[in-house]
Amino acid sequence: MIVEETVISPEELKAAQYFHGHQCPAMPQGLRAGHLAMDILGVTRARGGGELVAIVETGDHHFSGCFVDGVMFATGCTVGKGNLVRKPFGKFAVTLVEPSTGRAVRVTPRYARMSQCLTMDFFKLRAEGVPPYELDPGVVEPLIQDVLTKPWDEIFQVQTFSHYPYQKVPEVFDAVQCSRCGELVVSSYATSYDGQWYCPPCLDEMLHALDSQSR
């Protein structure tokens, strides 16, 4: 596959590192994977929640989870806009979907690449509990340059889809007042019970209270 790949500028890398909080190789890997997916689809960064959806497969509390922050920064698919979907599989992949056409591309770092990472000094130090921001830049910087400059197909493998099964969920612009706590709750999250609206935690509390009364 021939790809006109977007070059990640030093300014973009710097801004992404500011957003991310430290310098590490996993965030730039996600940054490049996000750009690669956009380049293959021929799309530009998401401004709203509808143009693109990124499905990421990293889980919680494991090495290289920083990958996702790079994906978010590159693609504009973020938690707040609701176009970042998490499938916590403990894998390093992003699938970028264009909902209007159903076209999608899944980008994942190659096995050889990721498994090699595990034996590097960077990961040994991280596994020993050294936080990434305390690591010697001399250890980190070459890894960042490597992930940004190697030919993409040495690092990543890609799959393309012409009809990715993605169900578009409409945005809700409605809310009600919870009759128990008095707070505002988006109507799709509220439940009506005995003619009153309840937010999820209040509904749970009320149902448990009913349960203890009936015993």
Query: Interaction with Zn ion in 20-49: which residues (CB under 5 A)?
Result: 24, 27
- Residue by residue, DSSP assigns 118-130 as TTSHHHHHHHTT-
CB of 180 to Zn ion, least distance (A): 5
Contact by Cβ (8 Å): 164, 97: yes
Contact by Cβ (8 Å): 110, 151: no
Contact by Cβ (8 Å): 83, 54: yes
184 binds Zn ion (CB under 5 A): no
Q: With contacts defined by CB under 5 A, name the span among 36-44, 79-87, 95-103, 170-178 that binds Zn ion.
A: 170-178
178 binds Zn ion (CB under 5 A): yes
Say what angle helices 26-41 and 67-75 make with each other, to 10 degrees: 40
Options 114, 180, 189, 191; binder of Zn ion; rule CB under 5 A: 180
Q: Distance between CA atoms of 19 and 116, rounded to whole angstroms?
A: 27
117 binds Zn ion (CB under 5 A): no
The footprint of Zn ion on this chain (CB under 5 A) covers a number of residues equal to 8
202 binds Zn ion (CB under 5 A): yes
Options 52, 104, 117, 199; binder of Zn ion; rule CB under 5 A: 199
Query: Interaction with Zn ion in 51-90: which residues (CB under 5 A)?
Result: 66
210 binds Zn ion (CB under 5 A): no
Contact by Cβ (8 Å): 104, 96: yes
Residues 6+ apart with CB under 8 A from 207: none
Q: Which is nearer to Zn ion, 4 or 128 (CB)?
A: 128
Q: Distance between CA atoms of 166 and 59, rounded to whole angstroms?
A: 20
143 binds Zn ion (CB under 5 A): no
Q: Which is nearer to Zn ion, 27 or 147 (CB)?
A: 27
Given the rule CB under 5 A, which residues bind Zn ion? 24, 27, 66, 178, 180-181, 199, 202
